[in-house]
Amino acid sequence: MLDIKFIRENKAIIKEAARKKLLDFDVEALLEADNQRLKLVGEVEKLRARQNEASHRIAKVKDEAERDELIEQMKDVKTLREGKEEELKQVLETWKSLLLKVPNIPDISVPEGKDDSENQQIKIWGDRPKFEFAPRGHVELMTNLKLADFERGVKVAGFRGYFLKNEAVLLSMAAWQHAMKIALEGGFVPLLTPVLDRPENFMGTGYLPDGEEDLYKTQDGDYLAGTAEVPTMGYHFDEIVPADRLPYKFIAFSPCYRREAGSHGKDTQGLIRVHEFYKVEQVVLCEASHEESVNWHEKLLANAERFMQDLKIPYRVVVNCTGDLGQGQVKKYDIEAWVPSEGKFRETHSISYFHDFQARRLNTRYRDSEGKLRFVHSLNGTLVASPRILVSLLENYQQADGSVVVPEVLRPYLGKDVIK
């Protein structure tokens, strides 16, 4: 959400942001609703003032006939005020719904494009393995090594269901542990977050009102979070946080649930796209400064890159184009890991910053050095998501005999060098 004053003064910029992000948003409709809101607020306030003034006059009038006449006049004013208040209520609903759909403005450094095919590579790291055999896909590797049971996963959980088994479980837990180690060394505060969260948190982070089709909703009206970003951002919902404690740095672990409603027919086999998974997520709240947001964006990316480099998995970094940004994102990096069986890079991490887009919706503020209330800036970024990370890990470390070498940095967690 953006400041309505800024929107009024910069409607051309808002229109351009919507065009670049390929979002259907009518800024003129919002401004018209805002004009109606302001007009009705003024009318209601005047009618309330008339009622208050009349109440004081009635209290002082001693003539009964005059008092009755004033009371009758005020009944008409009250009826008019109540009608205007009802009209204002309806206008406010329209105004708020439109305000929640305002797109955030992409950074000037973000390339314009229609979708992820137009994201721009800015870095590539690591040597891709050169096999003297046809590399096996992760489904074949995991099935042969008894690391997963996809058939029973579907039987129990339905489409995209899976069971991880044996060393795959230990590898996942090792990846989580190593990610936590990186974050804790950087002074991040660990959180184990609730997954069942109230709608306000999804509204605040921008996953509602649009995006509901990708969420699992309970019979009580709550939702299952698709990322620990949601509850972690809600942690300071409607709070004024101490400025001297900024930046807040959280490293949050949670199971995640996504319906993948818009992914019909994509990655129907294996672990690339599943309905439930686990993620270690970085979340930062910092002061309201573009430079501070950019600084932390690069730091969160560096943490994610360190994780990949520690595992020695070849990857590339792309900056997402405007058409591949969400409504609230100012800029986003993706890390994509090399998948030998497919001969291409696949996304494993996303790192984004939002300026005060989320904080406005969540009403998370602090007082600056002059005592003025400001909305914090927010950022988030994957440190590891499992089981997706197992796809590139297993495929890049596979051997000719079908075994898989354990990345050196994870061996202390598994107690072995090779899975066979």
Task: Please state, as a whole number, how many other Cβ atoms lie within 10 Å of the Cβ of residue 112.
Answer: 12
198 is catalytic: no
Note the Cα 228 to chain centre separation in Å.
Answer: 9
Q: Are 321 and 113 in contact (CB under 8 A)?
A: yes
66 is catalytic: no
273 is catalytic: yes
pLDDT for position 48: 87
Q: What is the DSSP letter of 284?
A: E
pLDDT for position 265: 67
Peptide bond into 247 cis (omega under 30): yes
pLDDT for position 262: 66
Q: Are 315 and 335 in contact (CB under 8 A)?
A: yes
pLDDT for position 71: 72
Task: Please state, as a whole number, how many other Cβ atoms lie within 10 Å of the Cβ of residue 24.
Answer: 6
Q: Given 1.20.120.550, 3.40.47.10, 1.10.472.10, 1.10.287.40, which CATH number is that of 4-99?
A: 1.10.287.40
**Architecture of the domain delimited by 116-419:** 2-Layer Sandwich (3.30)
Q: Are 91 and 37 in contact (CB under 8 A)?
A: yes
**Which stretches of 271-386 are assigned E, i.e. beta strand?**
276-286, 315-319, 331-339, 344-353, 365-367, 373-375, 377-386
b/e for 294-318, b at 16 or more Cβ within 10 A?
A: bebbebbbebbbbbbebbebbbbbb
Rounded Cα–Cα distance for residues 46 and 40 (Å): 10
Q: Out of 172, 254, 293, 350, pick the active-site residue.
A: 350
346 is catalytic: no
Q: Are 177 and 388 in contact (CB under 8 A)?
A: no
Q: Out of 136, 361, 365, 388, pick the active-site residue.
A: 388
Topology alike, domains 4-99 and 116-419: no
Q: Out of 258, 360, 361, 365, pick the active-site residue.
A: 258
In three-state secondary structure terms, 228 is: coil
Q: Which two tokens stand for residue 91?
A: 């206008």
Peptide bond into 387 cis (omega under 30): yes
**Domain chopping of the chain, boundaries:** 4-99, 116-419
Please write the tens of the pLDDT for every residue from 122-154: 999 999 999 999 999 999 999 999 999 999 999
Residues in the chain, pLDDT under 50: none
306 is catalytic: no
Pairing assessment for the beta strands 248-257 and 189-192 based on DSSP bridges: parallel
Q: Out of 50, 198, 273, 316, pick the active-site residue.
A: 273
Q: Out of 229, 292, 305, 347, pick the active-site residue.
A: 347
Q: Nearest CA to 273 among 259, 292, 252?
A: 259
CB half-sphere exposure, 383, CA atoms < 13 A: 33
Can you give the pTM of this predicted structure? 0.93
Rounded Cα–Cα distance for residues 330 and 96 (Å): 22
pLDDT for position 267: 73
Please write the tens of the pLDDT for every residue from 23-54: 999 999 999 999 999 999 999 999 888 888 77
b/e for 342-366, b at 16 or more Cβ within 10 A?
A: eeebbbbbbbbbbbbbbbbbbebbb
